[in-house]
């Protein structure tokens, strides 16, 4: 029997893969999606979360030996070589990591595409904000983004936000005045979380549980776009762990191979191949695909596959106020401080974005008081008193691309399918570190202004935003993919997702990943659709 020939095979069904597959399928292309993990059910995840003592982002997602997920508390999918913690998380399942994200849906400000040009550091993208703007608008439409313009940021828009922003919480209202007085204005962050009925999803009703799982689906998950892709005619195979692509002498990819959970090997052929398996797993596939034509792995003539890993090193602060702020009512995050997302300081240190967190403080407060030895009614009183007066915040910082921050394959450590484990080599450079130290000073200033005690955790770990490992550029010697996300070395191989980012900016990457994926879909449709 002749195997089915697809126009397009998309590896991964997170936001990047789902967006490209949906747009391509509804434009008439024959699309196959290969997803390493299973399909998940929201209700089951919510039940698992309810029954779990863990409160972290990976708690309800079941471990799966054939497609290990990045779960630093449970089973990490990768190894690390450096003292600096790289504690990222990612989900390998239909919908990918958008199951447990906070739904921040930022456009990258226009200047951040030209970091080298404006500030003499980092790299410039081969595309501009204007190139991406229509796709940002389309992505916001599909994901259902609620927000409002932030005047001082360079984010020109062709369309209005699909929904108005969420309302300030009581805490935001209390903090806004004092913060504005010291030049830090609070703004609602744009979020793909419904503030009204939208796309058959309910509005947020404040479960305060966006991470690890929104129990009602008010928050966007790429599983929703995947469903639309399937309705548009795309096919999907779950639990299909892609481990090799086969190249020819002319550079074209001729076949793709995947393993099922029992280790059986399957072959798929298509006219074009899209890797959308995230910044660690996509490079792993490229580096495993060694051939006589590509001895260092696919797309790697530059030697840069896996290099330039960027994230958003973050620090974290806990504030104990003298007045109740009632954190924990509503979604887990509503507002942020955006004054430090751009400025001349970027010649010296990274841009940053502050987020005011609205997570319920009851459990950490209670545990700390018991640890101190409080008992009886004194304990109950202290819990009542402190839990409503505490809130937390974090700052995510821009990091520059460096070749030695990279993903490699471990020479001997393997998973149950016999595939090598990735190794992450990562350190926080002085550009980001200096910004983190500056942020700590700002936190102390905030504490003084609002009359709170602050504890600062200079963790500087990953913010689960892995970026840049198949970096985009115009020079094949200095980059892995071109402005169309096509591998310089392979005419029919594309990389999709945060892995192609040329700079990390200080904003959350998901909306840009979605916009790039829709732009890639347009390119593929133009290339593959019959005239």
Residues classed as catalytic:
465
x/- mask, another protein, residues 156-195, rule CB under 8 A, reads ----------xxxxx--x---------------------x
Region binding another protein by CB under 8 A among candidate stretches 125-133, 144-152, 378-386, 457-465: 378-386
Sheet holding 186-188, edge to edge: 186-188, 333-337, 352-357, 390-397, 314-320, 453-461
Residue 110 or 387: the one with the smaller Cβ distance to another protein is 387
Is 200 among the residues that bind another protein (CB under 8 A)?
no
Q: Which of 120, 183, 376, 530 binds another protein (CB under 8 A)?
A: 376
Is 49 among the residues that bind another protein (CB under 8 A)?
yes
Is 526 among the residues that bind another protein (CB under 8 A)?
no
CA of 410: how far to CAs of 81, 111, 265, 287, 420, in Å? 10, 37, 22, 11, 6
Is 379 among the residues that bind another protein (CB under 8 A)?
yes
Phi and psi angles of residue 438, each rounded to the nearest 5 degrees, phi first: -65, -40
Phi and psi angles of residue 396, each rounded to the nearest 5 degrees, phi first: -105, 140
Region binding another protein by CB under 8 A among candidate stretches 64-72, 131-139, 343-351, 354-362: 354-362
Region binding another protein by CB under 8 A among candidate stretches 86-94, 96-104, 238-246, 366-374: 366-374
x/- mask, another protein, residues 100-139, rule CB under 8 A, reads ----------------------------------------
Is 148 among the residues that bind another protein (CB under 8 A)?
no
Residue 9 or 46: the one with the smaller Cβ distance to another protein is 46
Residue 42 or 266: the one with the smaller Cβ distance to another protein is 42
**H or E element, residue 354:** strand 352-357
Report the SS3 class of residue 427. Answer: coil
x/- mask, another protein, residues 211-240, rule CB under 8 A, reads ----xx------------------------
Q: How far apart are CA 26 and CA 240, in angstroms?
A: 23
Least Å distance between CB 462 and another protein?
A: 23
Q: How far apart are CA 382 and CA 347, in angstroms?
A: 46
Question: b/e map of 404-440 (b: 16 or more CB within 10 Å)?
Answer: ebbbbbeeeeeeebebbbbbbbbbbbebbbebbebbb
What is the DSSP annotation of 199-254? Answer: TTBPPP---S-TTT--TTS-B--HHHHHHHHHHTT-EEESS-EEEEEEE-TTS-EE
Cis peptide before 502 (omega within 30 of 0): no
CA of 305: how far to CAs of 270, 280, 478, in Å? 23, 10, 11
Phi and psi angles of residue 243, each rounded to the nearest 5 degrees, phi first: -130, -10
Least Å distance between CB 363 and another protein?
A: 5
Region binding another protein by CB under 8 A among candidate stretches 310-318, 337-345, 365-373, 408-416: 365-373
Is 206 among the residues that bind another protein (CB under 8 A)?
yes
Is 44 among the residues that bind another protein (CB under 8 A)?
no
Residue 355 or 466: the one with the smaller Cβ distance to another protein is 355
Contacts of 464 (CB under 8 A, 6+ apart): 57, 88, 89, 90, 97, 311
Q: Which of 348, 363, 404, 437 binds another protein (CB under 8 A)?
A: 363
Place of tokens 């133009």: 526
- Contact status, residue 194 vs residue 202, Cβ threshold 8 Å: yes
Q: Which of 5, 44, 65, 205 binds another protein (CB under 8 A)?
A: 205
Residue 103 or 360: the one with the smaller Cβ distance to another protein is 360
Place of tokens 């394959």: 409
Is 326 among the residues that bind another protein (CB under 8 A)?
yes
Sheet holding 420-425, edge to edge: 79-80, 420-425, 406-414
Least Å distance between CB 314 and another protein?
A: 24
Binding residues vs another protein (CB under 8 A):
46, 49-54, 59, 166-170, 173, 195, 203-209, 215-216, 326, 328-330, 358, 360, 362-363, 366-367, 370-371, 373-377, 379-380, 383-384, 387-388
């Amino acid at each position: 029997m002749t195997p089915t020939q697809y126009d397009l095979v998309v590896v991964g069904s997170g936001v990047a893969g789902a967006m490209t597959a949906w747009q391509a399928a509804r434009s008439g292309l024959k699309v196959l999606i290969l997803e390493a993990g299973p399909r998940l059910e929201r209700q089951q995840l919510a039940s698992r979360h309810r029954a779990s003592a863990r409160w972290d982002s990976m708690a309800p997602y079941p471990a799966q030996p054939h497609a290990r997920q990045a779960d630093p508390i449970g089973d990490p999918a990768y190894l690390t070589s450096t003292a600096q913690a790289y504690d990222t998380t990612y989900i390998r399942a239909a919908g990918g990591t958008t199951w447990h994200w906070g739904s921040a849906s930022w456009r990258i400000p226009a200047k951040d595409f030209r970091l080298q040009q404006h500030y003499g550091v980092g790299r410039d993208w081969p595309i501009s904000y204007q190139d991406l703007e229509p796709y940002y608008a389309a992505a916001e439409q599909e994901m259902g983004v609620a927000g409002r313009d932030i005047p001082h940021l360079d984010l020109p828009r062709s369309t209005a936000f699909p929904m108005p922003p969420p309302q300030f919480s009581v805490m935001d209202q209390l903090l806004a005045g004092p913060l504005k007085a010291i030049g830090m204005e609070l703004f609602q962050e744009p979020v793909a979380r419904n503030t009204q009925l939208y796309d058959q999803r309910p509005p947020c009703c404040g479960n305060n549980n966006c991470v690890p799982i929104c129990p009602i689906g008010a928050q966007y998950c790429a599983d929703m776009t995947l469903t639309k892709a399937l309705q548009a005619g795309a096919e999907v195979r779950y639990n299909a762990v892609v481990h090799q692509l086969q190249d020819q002498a002319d550079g074209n990819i001729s076949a793709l191979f995947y393993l099922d959970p029992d280790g059986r090997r399957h072959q798929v052929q298509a006219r074009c191949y899209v890797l959308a398996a995230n910044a660690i797993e996509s490079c792993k596939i490229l580096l495993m695909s060694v051939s006589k034509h590509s001895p260092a792995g696919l797309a790697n003539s530059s030697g840069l596959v896996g290099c330039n890993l960027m994230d958003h090193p973050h620090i974290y602060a806990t504030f104990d106020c003298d007045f109740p702020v009632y954190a924990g009512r509503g979604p887990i995050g509503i507002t942020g401080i955006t004054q430090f997302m751009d400025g001349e300081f970027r010649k010296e240190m990274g841009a940053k974005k502050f987020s005011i967190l609205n997570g319920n403080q009851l459990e950490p407060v209670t545990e700390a008081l018991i640890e101190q030895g409080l008992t009886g009614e004194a304990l109950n009183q202290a819990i009542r008193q402190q839990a409503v007066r505490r809130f937390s915040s974090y700052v995510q910082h821009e990091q520059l691309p460096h070749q030695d921050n990279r993903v490699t394959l471990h020479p001997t450590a393997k998973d149950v399918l016999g595939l090598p484990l990735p190794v992450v080599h990562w350190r926080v450079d002085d550009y980001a570190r200096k910004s983190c130290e500056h942020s700590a000073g700002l936190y102390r200033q905030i504490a003084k202004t609002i009359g709170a005690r602050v504890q600062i955790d200079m963790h500087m770990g990953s913010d689960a935003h892995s970026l840049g490992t198949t970096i985009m550029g115009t020079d094949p010697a200095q980059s892995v993919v071109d402005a169309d996300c096509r591998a310089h070395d392979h005419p029919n191989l594309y990389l999709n997702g945060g892995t192609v980012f040329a700079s990390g900016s200080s904003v959350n990457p998901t909306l840009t990943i979605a916009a790039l994926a829709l732009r890639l879909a347009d390119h593929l449709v133009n290339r593959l659709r019959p005239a």
